[in-house]
Amino acid sequence: MTDQNDILFERARAVIPGGVNSPVRAFKAVGGTPRFIKRAQGAYFWDANDKRYIDYIGSWGPMILGHGHPAVVEAVQKAVLEGFSYGAPTEREIELAEAILALVPSMDMVRLVSSGTEAAMSALRLARGATGRKSIIKFEGCYHGHADALLVKAGSGLATFGNPTSAGVPPEVVQHTVVLEYNNLQQLEEAFALHGNDLACLMIEAIAGNMNFVRATPEFAKRCRELCTQHGALLIFDEVMTGFRVGLHGAQGVLGVKPDLTVLGKVIGGGMPLAAFGGPRAIMEQLAPLGPVYQAGTLSGNPVATACGLATLKEISKPGFYEALGQKTRTLVDGLKAAAAAEGQPFNADSEGGMFGFFLMNDLPQNYATVMTTDNAQFNALFHGLLERGVYIAPALYEAGFVSAAHTDEDIAATIEAARDIFRKR
C-alpha cells in the first residue's frame, strides 16, 4: 500500500518550506514522515491513510475538551452564520473578556489578540512602555513565541546579555535580554543585583511546557515575585500553555503567586486563533487608544474565535471538570511510571491538570540543560513505537503532553499498554 502521508509530504515540501507551517510538525527531531491529519473527533485523529491515533498533543494544548465538542461546534456554526469578521467591536468580545477576568483574578483588564506570539510580544512592549525601562529577564527552555527579543539563548556570563537563537535577529535586538537558568536562585539574585534597576520585566512559564514539563519550585516562583516588586520590574507569567490547562486559574493558581501581567492563548481559543494578555488597570490603560503603547490587530477578538473560546471556557468552568481531568492525567502518568518500573527502564513523569511530561531518567529535571541530557535515540524509539501502535505524542522530547476530557479510561489503559510493550522489547 502506498503511504498517503509520504505522498502529501512530498507535495507539501514543494510548496511550503519543510512541508509544514510550524517547524516541530515536520518530525525533524524524531525522523520519519509527519502524519497528515484528515479529521479529528473526541480524543482521536485520523491520518491520510485513515489510521486512527489517540491524540496527546491536542493541537499543542487548545483541545482540552477533545475534538468536535458538540457545544463548541454549535457555537462556532452559529457564529459563522453571523459573519466571519467585522473590524468593529462586538458584545462577544466583552463576554469573553469578562469570562477570562472572572477566572484570573490578577487581571483587571485584558486585550485579545490572535496568537501567543503576538500576546507575549505585546505584553513585553507594554512592560517596557509602562516602566520606561529596557532590560528583560527570561529563562533557558521557556518559549514565549517567536518575537525577536525573545529568541535568545544565554550569553557567556551573567553580565553579558543573550545571543540570538535565530538567523535574522540582530544582536542589537536581544542586547537587553538576560537569559538565566530555570530554578537557579543564585543566578536570579545576581541578575537582579546587576540589572534590577533597568529591568522592565521578568517573563516566565511558571510551569514550563516548552522544555517538556518542568515546574518552577515554589521558592523560585516566590523569589521572582519578591525581586520584581523590590526592583519595580513587572512579573509576567506566560500562561499561553498553562492557562486553563493546569487548572481553572492557571499556574498562578497552582503556585499561589500573583503576576503583574498574564499572557494567555491556546485553551482560550478552543482551537481557533485567539490569545490575550492582561493585568492591572493602571498598566493596561497604557495601551492604545488610551495610552502611548501601540498594539493592534485586524482579526483581534474575531467573532468566530471568541464564540469558540467562550463555549470552551463555559465547559471547563463546570464543577468537577479539573478534578476529573487531573485524575485522568495522573492515571496515565502513574501507569506509565509503573510500566517502565516493571520493565526496569529509567523513567519519571509529572502532571498538573491536563498537562503532563515524562522523562527517560530517574529524577525529574529542574532545568533545560538536564532535560536535554535525555537519550535522543531512546526517545525517538519510544515515539515511533507509540505512533505505530496508534498513540500520538509530541514529536520532540522537549514538548509537554496533553490529555483532554474526551480521553476515556480505555484510551489511557491502551496507551500504558503500548508503552509497556515498547519498554519490554528494549
Ligand X SMILES: *Cc1c(COP(=O)(O)O)cnc(C)c1O
In order of 189, 233, 234, 268, the CA distances from 230 in angstroms are 12, 8, 10, 32
Q: With binding defined as CB under 6 A, does residue 19 bind ligand X?
A: no
Which residue is catalytic, options 47, 238, 350, 411?
238
238 makes contact with ligand X (CB under 6 A): yes
Q: Is residue 265 a contact point for ligand X (CB under 6 A)?
A: yes
Is 238 among the catalytic positions?
yes
CA distance 153 to 354: 29
Among 59, 90, 106, 115, binds ligand X (CB under 6 A): 115
CA–CA separation, 145 and 265 (whole Å): 11
Using rule CB under 6 A, residue 240 touches ligand X:
yes
Quick check: is 409 catalytic?
Answer: no
What is the spatial distance between Cα 158 and Cα 190, in angstroms, rounded to a whole number?
Answer: 8
Instruction: Count CB atoms within 10 A of the CB of residue 362.
Output: 9
User: Which one is catalytic: 53, 143, 368, 392?
Assistant: 143
Grid look-up 501567543 returns 116
Q: How many residues bind ligand X (CB under 6 A)?
A: 15
Listed ranges 47-55, 111-119, 283-291, 301-309: which one lies at the site for ligand X (CB under 6 A): 111-119
Name the helix (H) or strand (E) containing 138: strand 135-139
Stretch touching ligand X by CB under 6 A, among 6-14, 113-121, 352-360, 402-410: 113-121
What is the footprint of ligand X within residues 174-233 (CB under 6 A)? 205, 209-210
**Is position 120 an interface residue for ligand X (rule: CB under 6 A)?**
yes
Of 34 and 335, CB closest to ligand X: 34
Beta carbon of residue 144, minimum distance to ligand X (angstroms, whole number): 5
Question: 345 - beta bridge partners?
Answer: none
Whether the CB-CB separation of 152 and 165 falls below 8 Å is answered with: yes
363 is catalytic: no
> Could you give the residue ranges of the DSSP H alpha helices within 16-115?
70-81, 91-103
User: Binding of ligand X at residue 47 (CB under 6 A)?
Assistant: no
145 binds ligand X per the rule CB under 6 A: yes
269 DSSP assignment: G
Among 143, 182, 237, 322, binds ligand X (CB under 6 A): 143
Identify the burial level of 214 via C-beta atoms within 10 angstroms of its C-beta, where 0-12 means exposed, 13-18 middle and 19 or more buried: buried
β-bridge partners, 276: 112, 264
First to last CA, the chain: 28
Does residue 51 come out as left (phi exceeding 0), alpha (psi in the -120 to 50 range) or beta? beta
CB of 218 vs ligand X, minimal distance in Å: 20
- Which range in 63-71, 137-145, 174-182, 359-367 contacts ligand X by CB under 6 A? 137-145
Q: Give 141 or 326: the residue with its C-beta nearer to ligand X.
A: 141
Q: How far is the CB of 300 from ligand X (least distance, A)?
A: 13
Q: Give the C-alpha separation, 100 to 278, whole Å.
A: 10
Q: How far is the CB of 119 from ligand X (least distance, A)?
A: 7
Q: Does 151 bind ligand X (CB under 6 A)?
A: no
Q: Does 116 bind ligand X (CB under 6 A)?
A: yes
Q: Is 350 in the site for ligand X (CB under 6 A)?
A: no
What number of CA atoms fall less than 13 Å from residue 280's CA on the CB side? 10
Q: Does 65 bind ligand X (CB under 6 A)?
A: no
Please select the residue that binds ligand X; options are 152, 199, 201, 241, rule is CB under 6 A: 241
Measured between alpha carbons, how far is residue 401 from residues 30, 43, 265, 303 in Å? 16, 13, 16, 29
Contacting residues toward ligand X, per CB under 6 A: 115-117, 120, 143-145, 205, 209-210, 238, 240-241, 265, 275
Catalytic residue positions, numbered? 143, 238, 266
